[in-house]
Structure 1
Amino acid sequence: MNSAVPGDSAAGCVGSIGGSLIPELLDAVRKSGYRASLGGADDDEPSLRAERLGLLWTALLAAPILFIHQGIARFSGAPFVLLALATLLQFTSGLRFYRGAWYSLRSRNAGMDVLVAVGITAAWGFSALVVLFPGTFGEAHTFFDTTALLVLFIRLGKMLEARAKGKASDALRALLRAAPEKALRVAGGVEEEVPVSTLVPGDLFRVRPGDRVPVDGEIVDGEAAIDEAAVTGESIPVRRVPGDAVTGGTLLRDGSVLVRAVAVGEATFLGRMVRLVEEAQLDRAPIQRFADRVSNRFVPAVLVLAAAVWIVWYLVIRMPFPFALARAVSVVVIACPCALGLATPTAILVGSGVALRRGILFKRASVLEKVAGLRTVLFDKTGTITKGEPALTDVRTAAGLGEDRALASAAAGAAKSGHPLSKAIVRAAREKGAPWGDSTDIEERPGLGIRFAEQGAVRLLGSETMLDETNIDTSYFRADADRWADEGKTVLWLAEGGRALAVFGLRDEAKPGVIDVIARIRSLGIRTALVTGDRRRTAEGIAASIGIGEVFAEVLPERKAEIVRAAKERGGTVAMVGD
C-alpha cells in the first residue's frame, strides 16, 4: 500500500503518525489530523509540482520584502508595504506551518511545525506592532525579512525533499513498468488473453517473441533467449529450456515457451522488490528517530528559553518591555530552521534511490545508515566473486600428442557427464573445433573422475588422486600442475596405459569488474576477506588475482556465521556478500 499525505506536513508529521503506520495507516494519519489518500508511485510528480509552485510564490513575495527591508528600494510608506507583503506571505506560504502545528498539538506532539509557527508568528507579530505603533517601540528593529527568509528556506527544503522522494521512486516505477498487464493463458489447448491479475499458480501461459513474462514460472515446453536486464542487469539474453525458472518482467527475445505459473501477484520477484523498496522508504534510520526525539524536546526547550530571556531582561535587568520582547523573539526566530528534521529524511531518500539505480537494494533505511560504519566485507566465492562456471585456461600434453587431440580425447569421456568440469572440457573442445568420437564403458567416480574406453584404449580423466590409485606417473607435468594449483586452478589429468597424456588447468574466472570493486572498497579503508569451501590453494589463488588478502578456505556453511561473528568482535559493521 502506498499512502500520500498531501499538503500540510513537516518533520513533526513523522513523530505524530510513525508509531501507527503498521496496523491502520490511513486511520492513524486521519486521526492525527492529516489528509490521507491511497496513491501509486506516480503520485510523487504532482506533489513535486505543488512544492515548486509554492516555492515560486514564496520567492516572488520574499524578493520585494528583502529589497525594501535592506534599503535597496526606498519610498514613503515602505513599512506599510512591508507589512502587507509579509502578511500575505505569512498566511499563504506560511499557512501550512499553522496547520501542521495544530495537527501536532492535537496529537500531543511538539514538532518542528510548532516551532516554525511560533517563530514566524512572533517575528511577524512583533514587526506588525512596531509598524502600527511606532512610538511605543521606538527604534526597534522589524523582522519582516527574517520571516520571509525562514518561510522561503523551509519551503525550499520541502521542495528538495519532494524531489528526492521522486528520484528515489524512479527505480520503483521502472520495476512496475516491467510487469505486463496481459497474459496469454493456455487452457484445454486454447490460448486466451487475460489480465495478469487473474493468473493463479499452476496456470499455463504462452510467451512469444517480444513479450514480457507476466509472472514467475517454470518452462514446460520450448526454448527461448530471455533478456533478464530488468531483473539482473545482465544485457546478454540467456538461453532457457524446459525445467528452467523464468522471472516476471523479463523480455523474451526469440523462441516461444509454454510456462507454468509458480508465483503471482506480490509473491513474484517484482512484487517482492516493490514491497522491499516501499518498506525501505517507510523505515526510519536511528539518526532519523533521534531527530524526532530531539524535535519533541527542542521545541519546548526553545519556548522556555525565550520566556527566560524575556524574564531576565524585563524583570531582573529592568529593561523596557519592548526591548525584552525583541530579545525573546530573537531566540525563537534563531531556533526556527528545522534542518535536522528535513535533512535526515531527505538524505535517506536520496541515498536509497542512488543505491537502487546502481543495483543495490537497502531493505531498511537503518541498514543504509549502518553502511557508514562498515569496516569489513566478507565475500563468498562461487557465483559472487566468480562466474560459477569453470573454464579451460591451460593445456599441456606429452610429446607427440597435440593439444586438440588431447582435448578431443578428454571430451569423448566428458561428453556424457553432467559435472561442471566435464562441461567445461566439452565446451572448450567445441570452441576449438576439436571433434571427439564416441566413448564406451563409461564409469564415473564421484569426486575423482571418469574411466572410459575410446578407440579400444582405456583412459582416465580426473584428479591426481584417481591417477595415484593406479600408480600412474605424473612427474612429467608436476611443475605445471603445481603452478596452476597455486594460481587457484583446478587440475584435471588425462592418462592411458599407466602414463599421463595431458594435464588441463581450469578455473572459475572472476566476474568482470570484480577487481575494480575490490580495489575501491579497500581504498575506503575497509578490510576484505574471501570465505569459501574450496581448497586453500585454490582459494588463495583466486584471492590473490583479485586483490583480496585474507582467505578463509575449506569453510563449511555453518562456520560462515562464526566467521561473521569473529569479524564483528574486531569492531565496526560487517557485510557478507553472497551466501
Structure 2
Amino acid sequence: MNTNSTFEVGSLLSSMSARGVEKQLSQLPGVSAVQVNYVAGSASVTFDVDTIGADRIRAAIEECGYHCRGEATPRHLCAPHEDAGHAHAHAHAHDHGHAAPGVSPKASPKPPAAHVHDMDHGGMDAMAHEMGHGAGMDAKGMARDMRNRFWICLAFTVPIFLYAPMGMSFIKLAPPFGLDLNVWLFALASGAVIYPAWPFFVAAGRALRNGVLNMAVLVVLSVGTGYLFSLGATFFFKGAQFYEAVSVLLVFILLGHWLEMRARAGASEAIRALMELAPPKATVLRNGVETTVATSEVLAGDIVLIRPGDKIPVDGEVLEGGSQVDESMLTGESMPVKKTVGDTVIGATINKSGSFRYRATKVGADTALAQIVKLVQQAQNSKAPSQLLADRASQWLVLVAFLIGLATFGVWYFVLGQPVLLALTLTITVFVIACPDALGLATPMAVMVGTGLGAMNGILFKNASALEDATKLDVVIFDKTGTLTLGQPDVVDLAVAQGTTQDDLLQIAGSVEKLSEHPLALAILKRAGNLPLEPVEGFNNVDGMGTEAMVRGQRTLLGNRKLMDVNNVDLNGLSADSRNLQGQGRTVVHVAHGGRLIGLIAIADAVRPTSAAAVAALRAKGVQVAMLTGDNRATAERIARDLQVDIVLADVLPGDKAAKVKELQAQGKKVGMVGDGINDAPALTQADVGFAIGAGTDVAMESADVVLMKSDPLDVVGAIELSRATLHKMHQNLWWAVGYNVVAFPLAAGVFYPFTISPEVAAIAMSGSSALVAINALMLKRTRLTGIRRGQAIPGAADRTARAAPAAV
C-alpha cells in the first residue's frame, strides 16, 4: 500500500543539494515518487509501506550527508506511541554542517519533544542546519547566527583592505609583531574564510559525494581557488595574492545568504501559524484523577476535560456537558458552533463558554489540524512544470559555469598570453557570478508563499500543478445546490388573502408546523421567528399532501394543491399568485383555516450571499461561469439570470455530471468544477481543476485538487486570483534569473574587455539576484486579492464583508 510522508531534511544549501537527495531516494526499492523542497527543508516521499519503512528513508537521507529528524508531522501532534527519541537518534553533530574543523562529531540524540514550541522545528530546523546553526534555533536565532558569521568575516576583511596595496596608498600601517606583510594578510584571510565559509565547504563535500554539482561547489571553487593560490604565492612561489578579493567576495556572499535565509524563513510563516493553533497541554481523566499531559500524550479513548477559554487539544466526541465553540481558525465559519452530547469537536478550536467532557477519537497525525499541515507541506514540496524546467536548467548551469571558467582561464592565459592574475581573476568571477541560486529559488519561493497564503485563508492547494493549472481555466462549473445556494429551504415570499395579515398567516402556519420535522416545516418556523404560537390539537401528517391540525378551534390545512382540492378549499382568490410563484420554481405551501384559503407560503433554496459577487468577479477576469443542476430548465434559467451565469446545464442527473465536464473540455476549454465533494467526485476528478467547497475539516478529499474549507463561492475567486498572482511572481523571478545569467556570463568571462567586473562585484550581483528573487516572492503577501486576508492565520472570526440577507432562488 502506497503512502505519502514528509521528512525534514537539514543542511540543504541549494536546489542542487535537493536534487542530490531526490536522486538517491528515487533509487530505493518501494519508493515511487520523491520531491524535495530546499526552501522548506523537507522531502515528500511516496512509498510502499510493505516494501520500505520510514526509518530506511530517514537513514538514506542521512547516508547522503544530510540531517533528518524523521517525518515532519509537528512533534506535539505525533502519534503518542511513536518513540520520539528514536525519531531523533540519528541527529549527529556532523549533520549540522558547522562542527569546527578537526573536531570529531558525537552522536546527540534529541529527547522527545512534547509541547507546542517544538512545532517550529519543521522548516526552521532545516534552515538552521543548512546555514550551520544548531538544532531547535528559531528564525531570529538563525538570523543572529548568520549575522555573526557575516560580521566576523567583515571584521577580518576591514584590516585586510587597510593592509592591501589600495589601503596602504592612503595610510601606511606596519604589520604587528614584526610579521611579514604577506604572512599577516594570510592570517587575517584565514580568519575571514575558514569559520564563516565552513557551511559551504561541508555542503560542497556532500554534493560531490552524491554526484551533484551545486552552488556550494562554485562558492568553494571561487573562494578556495583565490585563497589557495594566495597561500602558495605567500609561502611557495612568487605571484599575485587574492586575499583582499577573496575576503570581500565572501562578505557579500554571506550577506546575500543572510538576506535569503530571512526571506526563506518568512516563506514558512503559514506552516508555523498553522502549527501554533494547537495547545501544548491537555487535561485528561485517568483512573478518576484529572491529569495534565502534553498534547502528544493524549491517547484515543482518553476522556478530555474542557473549561471556558480552553483550546481543544485533539478531535473527539462530546460525552457530557455543552458549550459554544469557535471553529473559525480551521473552518472559517465566523459564528461559534453549539456543541452538545454526541457532537464532534475539532482539535485547535476554542471553547467559548461552558464546560464539557469529550472522548478523544483522533489523535496525533490523524487530527484535522495535522491533516491540514500535511496537505500544505505536500503542496509546498510539489513542483510545478515551470519548476521542473528551472531545476534542469540549474543542473546544467553549474556544469556550464565550471566549463566556461576553465575555458576563460585557458583562453586568457594560454591563448592571449595575459598575466595569470587577470586570467585567474576572470575565472573566479565566472565561478561566483554563475551560482544558480536565483534560478533555483524562483519557483519554490513563490509556491511556498502562495500555498501558505492560501492555507492562512482556508484555501488548500494539494500540489503546485493545481496552483499553476488554476490560472488557465476558461470556465468554472458550479454544482448549484450547496455551492451557489445554501442547500436548505427558506421562505422567500408570502401571499395573503383579503382580511389576513402576514403575521396571522405565519402564526397559524407556525403553530401547526412546530410539531413537524419536515425541512419545509423548519423553514416556516424559522420565518415565523418570535411570533407567539397557538396551542394545537389533533395534529396529523397527510402522506404526500401536507399536514392538518386544530388551531383556535378551527381545522387548519397546510400542504400542496392536492390537499386543498381533496378538502374542497376554494383557491380562486390566490390562483394567479400560485401560478406566478410556481412559474418561478418555488415550492408553494397552501394554508387554509376554517375552510378558507388564507395565504400562500413560497419556499425555495436560497442563494448564498456572496454567489452573485463571485460570479461577477469570475466573469470580470475572463472566466465563464456555468451552473449545473438537476432542476428543470425554466427554473435553472431563472436562477442563472438572477446570478448572470453564462452557461446553464439543467436536468442533469448525478451520474451525468462528469459527462457535462467532458463536453466542455471537448470544446477546447480548460474546466474547473466546484462541488461539495460528496456526490461530485467523478466530476471533480474529470475537471482540469476540482474545487471541493465547504470541506470544513475534511481536507483529505482525494477527488479535489483545491480544498476550500468554507462554503463561500468567493473562495473560488480567491483561489484563482492567488494562483494567477503566484504564477506572475514565478514568471517574474524566472525571467530575472535567466536574464541575469545571459548578461552575467559574458561580462564575467571578459568578452567585453576592457569592460569587466571584479569577483567582489560578481558576489554582489550573485547575492543581490538571489535576494531579489526571494524578496519578490515575499511581496506576494502584499498583493490584494479577493477574499484573501494578509497577516492572519486560518480565517478568524472577522467576516469577509458585511453581507446582505440571502436572496432566493
Say yes or no: TM over 0.5.
Answer: yes
Listed as ranges, the matches of 1:185-204 within 5 Å are 192-193=290-291, 195=293
Is structure 2 residue 107 aligned with structure 1 residue 12?
A: no
What is the CA-CA distance between 1:559 and the residue it aligns to? 2.5
Is structure 2 residue 62 aligned with structure 1 residue 30?
A: yes
For residue 56 of structure 1, the aligned residue among 147, 150, 153 is 147
- The change in CA–CA distance for 1:154 and 1:134 in structure 2 (over 3 A counts) is farther
Asked if the contact 1:175–1:274 (Cα under 8 Å) also holds between the matched residues in 2, the reply is no
Asked if the contact 2:306–2:356 (Cα under 8 Å) also holds between the matched residues in 1, the reply is yes
Is structure 2 residue 647 aligned with structure 1 residue 550?
A: yes
The one-letter code sitting in structure 1 at the alignment partner of 2:120 is: D
Is structure 2 residue 667 aligned with structure 1 residue 572?
A: no
Whole-angstrom distance in 2 between the partners of 1:386 and 1:17:
48
What is the CA-CA distance between 1:356 and the residue it aligns to? 1.5
The one-letter code sitting in structure 1 at the alignment partner of 2:536 is: D
What is the CA-CA distance between 1:549 and the residue it aligns to? 3.4
1:181 is matched with 282
- The change in CA–CA distance for 1:138 and 1:205 in structure 2 (over 3 A counts) is closer
What is the CA-CA distance between 1:372 and the residue it aligns to? 3.5
Aligned-residue identity in percent: 31
Deviations 1:494-531 (A, max 9, x none): 24688643122334444454444444444333333333
- The change in CA–CA distance for 1:180 and 1:378 in structure 2 (over 3 A counts) is farther
Asked if the contact 2:304–2:359 (Cα under 8 Å) also holds between the matched residues in 1, the reply is yes
What is the CA-CA distance between 1:3 and the residue it aligns to? 5.5
What is the CA-CA distance between 1:104 and the residue it aligns to? 0.8
What is the CA-CA distance between 1:394 and the residue it aligns to? 2.3
Asked if the contact 2:120–2:138 (Cα under 8 Å) also holds between the matched residues in 1, the reply is no
Is structure 2 residue 230 aligned with structure 1 residue 103?
A: no
Question: Is the deviation greater in 79-88 or in 454-463?
Answer: 79-88
Asked if the contact 1:62–1:152 (Cα under 8 Å) also holds between the matched residues in 2, the reply is no
Is structure 2 residue 357 aligned with structure 1 residue 266?
A: no
Q: Which runs of 5+ in 2 are unaligned?
A: 26-42, 46-53, 70-87, 89-112, 125-135, 174-180, 678-809
Asked if the contact 2:661–2:671 (Cα under 8 Å) also holds between the matched residues in 1, the reply is no
2:404 is matched with 305
Whole-angstrom distance in 2 between the partners of 1:270 and 1:494:
49
Which structure carries more relative contact order (alpha carbon 8 Å, separation 6+)?
2
Whole-angstrom distance in 1 between the partners of 2:538 and 2:161:
96
- The change in CA–CA distance for 1:216 and 1:482 in structure 2 (over 3 A counts) is farther
What is the CA-CA distance between 1:304 and the residue it aligns to? 1.9
Structure 1 residue matching 2:459: 3-state secondary structure: coil
- TM-score between the two structures when normalised by the length of structure 2: 0.61
The one-letter code sitting in structure 2 at the alignment partner of 1:303 is: F
Structure 1 residue matching 2:137: 3-state secondary structure: helix
- The change in CA–CA distance for 1:50 and 1:130 in structure 2 (over 3 A counts) is farther
The one-letter code sitting in structure 2 at the alignment partner of 1:280 is: A
Is structure 2 residue 272 aligned with structure 1 residue 170?
A: yes
Structure 1 residue matching 2:490: 3-state secondary structure: strand
Is structure 2 residue 505 aligned with structure 1 residue 427?
A: no
Structure 2 residue matching 1:504: 3-state secondary structure: strand
- The change in CA–CA distance for 1:210 and 1:144 in structure 2 (over 3 A counts) is closer
Q: Which runs of 5+ in 1 are unaligned?
A: none
For residue 442 of structure 1, the aligned residue among 533, 540, 545 is 540
What is the CA-CA distance between 1:220 and the residue it aligns to? 4.6
What is the CA-CA distance between 1:106 and the residue it aligns to? 0.6
Listed as ranges, the matches of 1:311-322 within 5 Å are 311-316=410-415, 321-322=420-421
Whole-angstrom distance in 1 between the partners of 2:161 and 2:546:
87
What is the CA-CA distance between 1:102 and the residue it aligns to? 0.7
1:363 is matched with 462
Deviations 1:321-351 (A, max 9, x none): 5544444433323212510223333222222
Structure 1 residue matching 2:203: 3-state secondary structure: helix
Whole-angstrom distance in 2 between the partners of 1:359 and 1:547:
27
Asked if the contact 2:308–2:355 (Cα under 8 Å) also holds between the matched residues in 1, the reply is yes
- TM-score between the two structures when normalised by the length of structure 1: 0.82
The one-letter code sitting in structure 2 at the alignment partner of 1:241 is: T
Whole-angstrom distance in 2 between the partners of 1:510 and 1:112:
55
What is the CA-CA distance between 1:397 and the residue it aligns to? 0.3
- The change in CA–CA distance for 1:62 and 1:508 in structure 2 (over 3 A counts) is farther
Structure 2 residue matching 1:169: 3-state secondary structure: helix
2:627 is matched with 530
Asked if the contact 1:171–1:353 (Cα under 8 Å) also holds between the matched residues in 2, the reply is no
Deviations 1:187-226 (A, max 9, x none): 8xx5744646666556655544444444433345544333
Asked if the contact 1:222–1:258 (Cα under 8 Å) also holds between the matched residues in 2, the reply is yes
Asked if the contact 1:51–1:162 (Cα under 8 Å) also holds between the matched residues in 2, the reply is no
Whole-angstrom distance in 2 between the partners of 1:474 and 1:233:
47
Deviations 1:217-265 (A, max 9, x none): 3345544333222332323222233443332333333345454444333
Whole-angstrom distance in 1 between the partners of 2:603 and 2:550:
23
What is the CA-CA distance between 1:488 and the residue it aligns to? 6.5
Asked if the contact 2:558–2:590 (Cα under 8 Å) also holds between the matched residues in 1, the reply is yes
What is the CA-CA distance between 1:459 and the residue it aligns to? 4.5
For residue 504 of structure 1, the aligned residue among 579, 601, 604 is 601
